[in-house]
Amino acid sequence: MAPPRWDELASTGVDSMDAEHRLQVSLVKALEELVQQGADPAVLERTVSQLVDFTSVHFLSEELMMRLYAYPQHDAHKLEHARLKQQVDELRSRLAAGGREAGVAIVAELHAWLVGHVRTMDQAFASWCAKNGILAH
């Protein structure tokens, strides 16, 4: 089953968040292609590191906004971010162990999780902000 595509349904309406989400999805897609091609482990590790680094910065940015604006679902949202970080760590371990098929499956799960997260939790945050006059939609 193919992972969901990034599309306007996954848009939050907040340009800065959407740009970061598109970059995350692009990194996951690049990683997926590299895994499917059986790329050199060093190339895979570099791409995973880029994904981890960018995602950590993005999550921190979102979590700071949620805290700054006293978003009532901050803790649940932050917990979801922690789950994705665990998935990426699992991917990194499996790729290092040479599990290409497992890597393909995990990358597909990451992509699906990311798009699903944006469509639910991030859109809810953006809507709450718009309702409260915090961020322009």
Mean pLDDT of all residues in 74-80:
94
pLDDT tens profile 10-21: 788 888 888 888
Q: What is the residue whose two structure tokens read 């482990």?
A: 41
C-alpha angle 64/68/73, rounded to 5°? 80
pTM score, whole prediction: 0.82
For 31-35, 85-89, 130-134, which range has the lowest pLDDT when averaged over its residues?
85-89
C-alpha angle 18/20/23, rounded to 5°? 110
For the chain, give the percent of residues with pLDDT over 90: 31
Q: What is the residue whose two structure tokens read 């897609």?
A: 29
| 5 has pLDDT over 80 | no
CA distance 16 to 34: 27
Question: What is the pLDDT, as a whole number, of residue 74?
Answer: 95
Confidence of residue 115 (pLDDT cuts 50, 70, 90): confident
Mean pLDDT of all residues in 67-79:
95
For residues 115 and 25, is the Cβ–Cβ distance under 8 A? yes
Domains of the chain from N-terminus onward: 15-131 (1.20.120.50)
For 53-57, 112-116, 122-126, which range has the lowest pLDDT when averaged over its residues?
112-116
Mean pLDDT of all residues in 38-62:
88
